[in-house]
Chains A and B, each alone.
Chain A
């Protein structure tokens, strides 16, 4: 990595760090937020089906 200059090295390590952040966040929240009873999605689903059927 010695041949990369500071700007490119920074991009490289930020790229790795952001991927690690995504992995850690996803792992910590893997089983969270499953239930949200306040939302009724049935009507939205029905309308979405209708739109795609028409298409």
Chain B
């Protein structure tokens, strides 16, 4: 690297260190961190939220899927903004905040448990989070590790080990308190980096319109010839195998939606778009955020900044993801993105390192790693409190040190997440898939109880428990015995019945949430109406004068 690049990097690290120190000195308690004593500018606050929510899973994982499957992923950005920001902040944020404060709830399972006066709901929710959330944490870990591998040209497992040690130190040394100013700085850098990335890519491919048009040519030159190739002659998971797979799933170009109700359409719409887009509403770490703002005013302001931030993150990275095919075709010997990078998860890190200036790649790397660390801190915090507060405290172990249990829980969750990241990195599109699975699980299991708890006073404890149990059973059954990818990978169906899936045809491409969520909602309604209403005292405690 040249002198200017070194100076930029040193200045960046110095600024980060200074802001971190200032933020740490100003942060005396969690209220200071979460609402910054009520004095922080909403711009800083919203960007710190954004930097925490958008992780390497979104940028590296789903950006890579956009390079593979094209611009149909923009449906996910629409859902991210409309459902994940607008619906969540405008309609769910304030009711959640008020109920959380009234009930003195500090975790998502605790909010549900206290709303229905049920220890079982809190423990069940905590247990599910501890069991399933490592899958999502592993996705974030893999995304960050892939970028380190691409930048430093090092071994994946070595990079994962180093990244994991840094994360563990960060979390255990007080990373949970966080420092809002550095989070906001990362948000600003990510925002600027994404805009710069878009400008550079448009400039390189001749603009947006020209870039999209060239995608058609690149598809014709690099993917269409695979139509005559036998799938069995291709190595499973190889770039050409993945592109051939996308053709057999109904994709005909990066600018087109896959054929209606084809396997590809079901994957993009039910798993990627609806699974993540709807699942975001029941994310435990997101719901808790609503309880930590000072007033509805902060939520109003966060809508504006959040909307812009999300379109600048996922909107740009998905468009850039698909356009990487044009860039590689023109600047890398006529290959498409997957052929150049090697796999879905490697496209964005590989592209940033190949196509962008070295100093830009470094800044991007640090911003991505920081975003991953913010998200991972939040995830491990959620998993730790799920084990300590929602499980062990509710089990009534009075003589056990719950703080120790929580800390052990955090370390255990880190170990499990790292182990999953170690085992799963070779799986095709694993970052996007495991993120989608976790989001869909949360929707199927928690969403009816969460919505009913907030907006339907007639919903009962029995209805909530039945809904959560049905959501869990149906989702687990679908993943273990039906879904084309997960049922095959998990192998339980094969071991018990000798087949990869109990069903056949296109239905095995339908995401578990599409089946489980309606059943879970129906169960909540029917069982609630059949059971005795909750006491007026409990309803008054939950809803106040609302």
Contacts and interface: CB of A to CB of B under 8 A. Distances in A.
Interface of A: 1-8, 11-12, 14-16, 18-19, 21-23, 25-27, 29-36, 38-41, 43-45, 47-49, 51-52, 54-55
A26 B29 CA distance: 28
B78 A18 contact: yes
Interface stretch (B304-312, B461-469, B520-528): B304-312
Place the interface of chain B in its size category.
Answer: 35 or more
Given A11-B75, A27-B304, A55-B381, A3 B101 contact: no
Given A44-B291, A48-B31, 18 more contacts: A3-B212, A3-B215, A4-B256, A5-B256, A8-B71, A11-B77, A11-B78, A19-B311, A19-B315, A22-B85, A23-B304, A25-B90, A29-B297, A29-B301, A31-B297, A33-B300, A39-B101, A55-B406
Contact of A44 (B70, B71, B104): B104
A25 B307 CA distance: 10
Nearest to A22: B307
Interface in B93-128: 94, 98, 100-102, 104, 106
A47 B78 CA distance: 37
17 contacts: A3-B209, A8-B70, A8-B72, A11-B74, A22-B308, A23-B307, A26-B300, A29-B303, A32-B297, A33-B295, A33-B297, A36-B296, A47-B104, A47-B106, A48-B30, A48-B34, A55-B385
Contact of B307 (A21, A39, A44, A47): A21
B304 A25 contact: yes
Contacts of A12: 71, 74
A26 B303 contact: yes
Contacts of B304: 22-23, 25-27, 30
Contacts of B330: none
B255 A18 contact: no
B487 interface: no
Given A2-B209, A21-B82, A55-B384, A48 B72 contact: no
Interface centre among B77, B255, B300, B545 (most CB of A within 10 A): B300
B72 A7 contact: yes
Contacts of B310: 19
B86 interface: yes
Nearest to B306: A22
Interface in B528-546: 544-545
The 9 A-B residue pairs with the shortest CB-CB distance, nearest first, are A26-B304, A22-B307, A7-B257, A33-B296, A29-B300, A11-B74, A18-B82, A18-B81, A54-B403
A9 to B, nearest CB: 9
A15 to B, nearest CB: 4
A15 B319 CA distance: 12
Contacts of A25: 86, 90, 300, 303-304
Nearest to B406: A55
B335 interface: no
B32 to A, nearest CB: 9
Nearest to B260: A7
B255 A15 contact: no
Nearest to A35: B295
Given A26-B300, A47-B106, A11 B213 contact: no
B385 A51 contact: yes
B101 A41 contact: yes
A46 B36 CA distance: 15
Contact of B311 (A11, A15, A35): A15
Contact of A2 (B213, B215, B256, B389): B213
Given A33-B297, A51-B385, A55-B410, A18 B307 contact: yes
Given A12-B74, A22-B85, A52 B297 contact: no
A34 B296 CA distance: 7
Contact of B292 (A4, A21, A31, A48): A48
B215 A52 contact: no
B78 A26 contact: no
A37 to B, nearest CB: 10
A19 B433 CA distance: 26
Contacts of B72: 7-8, 11
A11 B307 contact: no
Contacts of B213: 2-3
A55 B102 contact: no
A35 to B, nearest CB: 7
B216 interface: yes
B256 A14 contact: no
A41 to B, nearest CB: 6
Nearest to A20: B307
Contacts of B256: 4-5, 7-8
Contacts of A51: 30, 106, 385, 389
Interface in B277-300: 291-292, 294-297, 299-300
Nearest to B75: A11
